[in-house]
Amino acid sequence: MDINQPILGIDIGGTNIKAGILRKGELSSIKSFPTPALENTETIFKKIFDLISTYSSEEFHGIGIGVPGLVELSTGKILSINNIPSLINSNLKNYLETQTNLPVKINNDANCFVMGAYRFGNLKHLNNVVGISLGTGLGAGIITNKNLYSGLNAAAGEWSAIPYLDKTFEDYCSSKFFSKEYNQTADKLAHLATKGENNAIEAFQQFGIHLAELIKHILYTLSPEGIILGGSISKSHNLFLDSLKCNLKNCLYPSLVENLTLHISDINEPGIIGAASLHHCK
């Protein structure tokens, strides 16, 4: 599809479902509603279609969707999804194509994040980039030779499930770390850390150490030229970036770190933008 044609992007999250129109590289008409996570499939589908219907006065030529789970890309079937159990084994793509008569593309939300953050961010000149979304959970997506690499069932980049210490990387590189280890939300601890509270400062220093271990794992696996950090926790990067960079110095292959560009994404709603950009993938 022509890159200048407007596309409706939808980012389905466990808390909110957001949408917006990507037109000539600009995102507009952003809308959202709380995710009806415990409703049945029919109700959720209908609410998403109702959201799309609010854009009836605007022109768009396709719909792109990011979901927090695995997707059979050839059919659009959702194979697994975090926190929205009734959507497992459902086919939102087929439903929306029938209802709207528009082409629909669907992919993992972390893949959509890296698409948006890469194509419309400061690292688009690089060929190989990994995007890491730090939020309620841990997500990652891969750009190789300037194109999204989704892998089988959109599962490429699922470092969140890899064992680390006594749990997994997600337990130490997402908000789960703060709630389980410090019994506080990341936002609350960030506020306390900026006020000089030592325990909160220590929490983010430890988070930076764990995130560095994840990044070293990515460097050993893919050796990307750049890494993009996004998600809600990345907004507190000033609290953990120093400890992250310090711990990266322990990398077994220093040249991988010396030549690495580490970037904090400042793109607004990269998940929506990336979902819409699925129509521009090869």
Phi-psi region of 151 (alpha: psi -120 to 50; beta: other; left: phi over 0): left
Q: For the chain, where do the domains classified as CATH 3.30.420.40 start and end?
A: 7-112+270-280, 125-264
CB atoms within 10 A of CB 12: 26
Joined tokens for residue 215? 């990044």
Asked if residue 169 lies in contact with residue 215, where contact means CB atoms within 8 angstroms, the answer is no
pTM above 0.85, yes or no: yes
């904090």: which residue's tokens? Answer: 264
CB atoms within 10 A of CB 134: 26
DSSP 58: S
The span from the CA of 110 to the CA of 231, in Å, is 10
CB atoms within 10 A of CB 205: 17
**CATH number of this structure's domain 125-264:** 3.30.420.40
Joined tokens for residue 261? 């560009």
- 227, β-bridge pairs: 130, 262
- 262, β-bridge pairs: 227
Q: Which DSSP string corresponds to 125-161?
A: T-S-EEEEEESSSEEEEEEETTEEE--GGG-TT-GGG
Asked if residue 33 lies in contact with residue 39, where contact means CB atoms within 8 angstroms, the answer is no
H/E/C letters for each residue in 178-228? HHHHHCCCHHHHHHHHHCCCHHHHHHHHHHHHHHHHHHHHHHHHHCCCEEE
Q: What is the pLDDT along the chain (282 residues), one digit of tens a residue?
A: 767 799 999 999 888 999 999 998 899 999 999 999 899 999 999 999 999 999 999 999 999 999 999 999 999 999 999 889 999 999 999 999 999 999 999 999 999 999 999 999 999 999 999 999 999 899 999 999 999 999 999 999 999 999 999 999 999 999 999 999 999 999 999 999 999 999 999 999 999 999 999 999 999 999 999 999 999 999 999 999 999 999 999 999 999 999 999 999 999 999 999 999 999 876
What is the gyration radius of the CA atoms in the chain, in angstroms?
Answer: 19
Q: Under CATH, to which class is 7-112+270-280 assigned?
A: alpha beta
Asked if residue 115 lies in contact with residue 274, where contact means CB atoms within 8 angstroms, the answer is yes
Nearest to 273 by CA among 18, 16, 15: 18
